[in-house]
Amino acid sequence: MIRIENLKKEYPNAIPLENVNVTINNGDVISVIGPSGTGKSTLIRCINLLEKPTSGRIFLDDTEITDPGCNLQEVHKKMGMVFQSFNLFGHMTVVENIMAPAMDILGKGAQEAYDEAMRLLRTVGLYDKALSWPDELSGGQKQRVAIARTLAMNPDVILLDEPTSALDPTMVGEVQAVIRDLASSGKTMMIVTHEMSFARAISNRIFFMDEGGIYEEGTPEEIFDNPKKEKTRRFVKRLKVIEIDIDSKTYDYLGTQSLIEDYCVKNQVPYKLAKQIHLAFEEAVHQCIVNTMDKPMVHLSIEYSEEKENAAFVLWYGGEQYDLFEDGDEISVSILKKIVRDEKYSRDDNKELGNNVVFCIG
């Protein structure tokens, strides 16, 4: 079991982890997902003490491994790490690469280390490569050797940081298959990955990282199918979002349209959908809201889904109860109705921007 208390990691120019509190149970297989730069590697490196936390404590079973007196080598025996770039020794054969740490660190004899290495090579499907040199292997094969080398230490916990992201797409599957077997063997694992369907298949818990920590965690069903928080939802649905705020009648209309244009180009929104997004902005936001109010206050998110090739408008605006599809300008509404679907209005008197309209385009 690993218990993390108030973990903080600060670099001169970034604080990737502000306050992480979490417990990893024996047998957990945890996938860590999230946008790049949100501290996924930092978290895994702090757990393994490859980075020194700025503050906070980490316990492995009942030992505080962040205690200055803690024996690092003992920690590294119990926690194995698999890196994106396999780090095999080029001057050793495959089998020697796997034997070396077991002999040097665990003090195993050569025969025992060899027998174990050969058994592990069989489990990762590389028995016939025992006497090859790392240079003779493909990336996928090298990563399988690196996993076997980690397993040779028989660690209680295995940490993997994007183990397939340096591989050609054709080799991802063979490495994932090895990791999947390992996950179902009951080993405690934590794996940083961008492969969501893989994460869903192997994990019992998902950590979504953002805003300096574990922003949301849950089972794969909870995180991928029913995320509770907005950023998680946008990430797992791979939504491309633009947010627009308008607080005056004399806002920069052309500038806003060109922001939307840039957003569509950058995210490769199909041409027809992009035109409809511009039109929907013009009719719904500009004509029906801004032009009809003395002091318009609008917050708009446009969420483009590449997968579904559609876009959602989520509009919040101030003022009295006003459903733009019911009460808006007739011509604008008739234009809108040709391009939108699933429109929904709701009212929340407790909010400053109390009117909410959501609709879908495409």
CB of 154 closer than 8 Å to CB of 188:
no
For residues 254 and 236, what is the distance between their CA atoms, to the nearest angstrom?
32
- The interface mask with Mg ion, positions 230-249, x = CB under 5 A, is --------------------
Among 41, 143, 164, 355, binds Mg ion (CB under 5 A): 41
Among 7, 28, 29, 39, binds ligand ADP (CB under 6 A): 39
Tell me the closest approach of the beta carbon of residue 229 to ligand ADP, in angstroms. Answer: 18
For residues 151 and 157, what is the distance between their CA atoms, to the nearest angstrom?
10
Among 29, 31, 33, 40, binds ligand ADP (CB under 6 A): 40
Residue number, 22 or 314, with CB nearest to Mg ion: 22
Q: How far is CA 230 from CA 124, 215, 297, in A?
A: 39, 10, 21
What one-character DSSP code corresponds to residue 288? Answer: T
The interface partner of residue 38, options being Mg ion, ligand ADP, none and the CB cut-off 5 to 8 Å by kind, is: ligand ADP
Strand partners, 302: 242, 313
Residue number, 108 or 205, with CB nearest to ligand ADP: 205
Stretch near ligand ADP under the rule CB under 6 A, chosen from 35-43, 232-240, 241-249, 276-284? 35-43
Residue number, 41 or 176, with CB nearest to ligand ADP: 41
Residue number, 40 or 108, with CB nearest to ligand ADP: 40
Q: Does 163 bind ligand ADP (CB under 6 A)?
A: no
Tell me the closest approach of the beta carbon of residue 213 to Mg ion, in angstroms. Answer: 15
Residue number, 36 or 250, with CB nearest to ligand ADP: 36
CB of 191 closer than 8 Å to CB of 198:
no
Q: Does 53 bind ligand ADP (CB under 6 A)?
A: no
Task: State whether residue 209 is helix, strand or coil.
Answer: strand
Q: How many residues bind ligand ADP (CB under 6 A)?
A: 10
For residues 299 and 318, what is the distance between their CA atoms, to the nearest angstrom?
9
Single out the residue of 130, 144, 219, 206 nearest to residue 174, CA to CA: 144
Tell me the closest approach of the beta carbon of residue 45 to ligand ADP, in angstroms. Answer: 7
Q: Contacts by 194-197 with C-beta closer than 8 Å and gap 24+? A: 194/33, 194/162, 194/165, 195/164, 196/33, 196/224, 196/236
Q: How far is CA 238 from CA 109, 228, 269, 308, 327, in A?
A: 50, 15, 13, 10, 34
Q: How far is CA 156 from CA 113, 144, 303, in A?
A: 18, 19, 42
What one-character DSSP code corresponds to residue 26? Answer: T
CB of 56 closer than 8 Å to CB of 210:
no
Q: Does 36 bind ligand ADP (CB under 6 A)?
A: yes
Tokens of 131: 């006497």
Among 7, 29, 42, 124, binds ligand ADP (CB under 6 A): 42
Q: What is the DSSP string of 294-346?
A: SS--EEEEEEEETTTTEEEEEEEE-SSS--HHHHS-HHHHHHHHHHEEEEEEE
Q: Does 47 bind ligand ADP (CB under 6 A)?
A: no
Tell me the closest approach of the beta carbon of residue 168 to ligand ADP, in angstroms. Answer: 21
Tell me the closest approach of the beta carbon of residue 191 to Mg ion, in angstroms. Answer: 12
- The interface mask with ligand ADP, positions 2-21, x = CB under 6 A, is ---------x--x-x-----
Tell me the closest approach of the beta carbon of residue 70 to ligand ADP, in angstroms. Answer: 22
CB of 315 closer than 8 Å to CB of 300:
yes
Tell me the closest approach of the beta carbon of residue 24 to ligand ADP, in angstroms. Answer: 18
Q: Does 164 bind Mg ion (CB under 5 A)?
A: no
Stretch near ligand ADP under the rule CB under 6 A, chosen from 30-38, 199-207, 222-230, 346-354? 30-38
Among 37, 109, 173, 186, binds ligand ADP (CB under 6 A): 37
Residues in contact with ligand ADP by the rule CB under 6 A: 11, 14, 16, 36-42
Residues in contact with Mg ion by the rule CB under 5 A: 40-41
